[in-house]
Structure 1
Amino acid sequence: MDDRLKVTFLGTGTSQGIPVIGSQHPVCLSSDPKDKRLRVSVLLQFNGCHYVIDCGPDFRQQMLANPVDRLDGILFTHEHADHTAGIDDIRPFFFRQGDIPIYVSERTMASLRVRFDYIFADTNRYPGAPAVQVNLITKDKPFELAGEKVWPIEAWHNRLPVFGYRIKDFAYLTDVKRVEDTEMPKLKNLKVLVVNALREEPHHSHFNLAEALAFANEVGAERTYFTHISHLLGFHADVQARLPKNVFLAYDNLTIMV
């Protein structure tokens, strides 16, 4: 039995995606498919199960491009729309399977209850809405998925706490500007790190390229992949050519084994 983790990058773009609507920026006009990025998400497949981290507005399109017959759960990093707006499109899975487990912080859950009240209403739920099984998580307590321990990793998106996740020797962090020293031990001895690298210029709530490279160097994973990429970072091929040999720009539909 193959006990490896299969990771598929469903989307690697920032909140507007690439191309940006109406933009004449050269990257937005690129014919290279690696320069076309849906909103950020990954599909994790291990031990016969399928999980996604985040469920953004491109979720339906991503599932059609990377079909799976079952969704065993959704892990949310935080409540922003580019990470949550696709939750209605879990309906086909719900209709086949029943309630879909979600793993979410208390703060993010409070936001989802307001924004998607027709899904989370306690009474008079809309009959066509999907239903979920809510699992509240905290940074101090691991939880289990398909027999594997998962560690939430708290990071800071400006002043907003967000969760990354470590599963086996793989860790996924996005929308990060800072990780406290107390959380760094959770990132020891990684084979693969995924982290955001928005653009060259500094940003108030995201790592820029220099910060992402410094963080990757500090973590010291065997391989690092950058995601949550803006068109302002530049052409995929040009940026990749400048990166260290064990650091890669992820791109949509890239699949790796860990």
Structure 2
Amino acid sequence: MTDWKLTFLGTGTSTGVPQIGCRCGVCSSDDPRDHRLRTSALLEADGYNLLLDCGPDFRQQMLRCGSPRIDAVAITHSHYDHTGGLDDLRPYAYGDSPLPIHCSKDVALAITQRLPYCFGMTDYPGVPRLRTSVFRPYTTFRSGPLDIMPLDIDHGRMMISGFRIGPVTYITDCHTMPPATLDAINGTETLVINALRIDPHPT
């Protein structure tokens, strides 16, 4: 990438911040830094726009940043806070060329079962036209001008994907990293990664 920009569309938890019904100091705060949408980002590189995750706040996120073009989507994992906005890709996914959704095999299965009408399994008019493009960990694939290496990330109870894209590494929901991922991100200029508390999260 010779010219790139990374925009954080959301940095909140799976429920968003503030959380519905919560009266804690953070959720009751008037500080705009305590008002965060679900996790997603937009990578703009050499005129190509890659959306990283597409959660339930996607519509609001796009309106906030001026509704930029989306050329492809890369999904880290199938949880709703990372895929719940796929139906709202309608303005970007119509006509003869379905919008590519780069994802692992298990994510492809989950989202096609959840939204079969988006993947050509029905002929209902007006639905988004999406196409899964399945990747394998540590096997670089091409999306427009981007070379993307999927990375294994331990989410705690499941393995999910992070992405090394040129000088940028994007990782979310990380509990631990396998040694192969640590090796793969060596030399990263910009590392995006979540932060976990040391003690277990209260339930």
Q: TM-score, normalised by structure 1?
A: 0.74
Cα deviation, residue 202, structure 1? 2.5
Does the alignment pair 1:164 with 2:156?
no
Report SS of the residue matched to 2:92. Answer: helix
Distance 1:154 1:69 in 2: 29
Other-structure match for 1:50? 49
Distance 1:54 1:143 in 2: 17
Task: Render the CA deviation track for 1:73-116: whole Å, top value 9, x for unaligned.
Answer: 00000000000000000001124784111101110111111111
Q: In the alignment, which of 121, 143, 159 is matched to residue 145 of structure 1?
A: 143
Other-structure match for 2:39? 40
Distance 2:198 2:177 in 1: 20
Residues 1:28 and 1:199: Cα distance change in structure 2 (over 3 Å): farther
Distance 1:65 1:97 in 2: 28
Task: Render the CA deviation track for 1:9-53: whole Å, top value 9, x for unaligned.
Answer: 000001000001121111111111111110000000011011111
Among the aligned pairs, what percent are the same residue?
39
Report SS of the residue matched to 1:128. Answer: coil
Distance 2:9 2:24 in 1: 23
Other-structure match for 1:99? 98
Task: Render the CA deviation track for 1:212-248: whole Å, top value 9, x for unaligned.
Answer: xxxxxxxxxxxxxxxxxxxxxxxxxxxxxxxxxxxxx
Distance 1:27 1:125 in 2: 45
Distance 1:31 1:4 in 2: 36
The one-letter code matched in structure 2 to 1:181 is P
Cα deviation, residue 3, structure 1? 2.0
Task: Indicate if the aligned counterparts of 2:120 and 2:129 stay in contact, CA closer than 8 A.
Answer: no
Residues 1:96 and 1:131: Cα distance change in structure 2 (over 3 Å): closer
Report SS of the residue matched to 1:196. Answer: coil
Cα deviation, residue 203, structure 1? 3.9
Report SS of the residue matched to 2:123. Answer: coil
Cα deviation, residue 149, structure 1? 1.3
Cα deviation, residue 147, structure 1? 2.1
Other-structure match for 1:128? 126
Residues 1:97 and 1:39: Cα distance change in structure 2 (over 3 Å): farther
Report SS of the residue matched to 2:81. Answer: helix
Other-structure match for 2:80? 81
Distance 2:70 2:146 in 1: 17
Distance 2:143 2:168 in 1: 14
Other-structure match for 1:177? 175
Q: CA RMSD in A?
A: 1.9
Does 87-96 or 17-26 show the bigger shift?
87-96
Q: How many residues align?
A: 202
Distance 1:160 1:167 in 2: 23
Task: Indicate if the aligned counterparts of 1:119 and 1:126 stay in contact, CA closer than 8 A.
Answer: no
Other-structure match for 2:188? 190
Task: Extract unaligned runs of 5+ from structure 2.
Answer: none
- Higher percent of residues as helix: 1
Residues 1:44 and 1:196: Cα distance change in structure 2 (over 3 Å): same
Residues 1:64 and 1:58: Cα distance change in structure 2 (over 3 Å): same
Other-structure match for 1:16? 15
Cα deviation, residue 69, structure 1? 4.0
Does 193-202 or 132-141 show the bigger shift?
193-202
Distance 2:183 2:111 in 1: 30
Q: TM-score, normalised by structure 2?
A: 0.93
Distance 2:32 2:198 in 1: 21
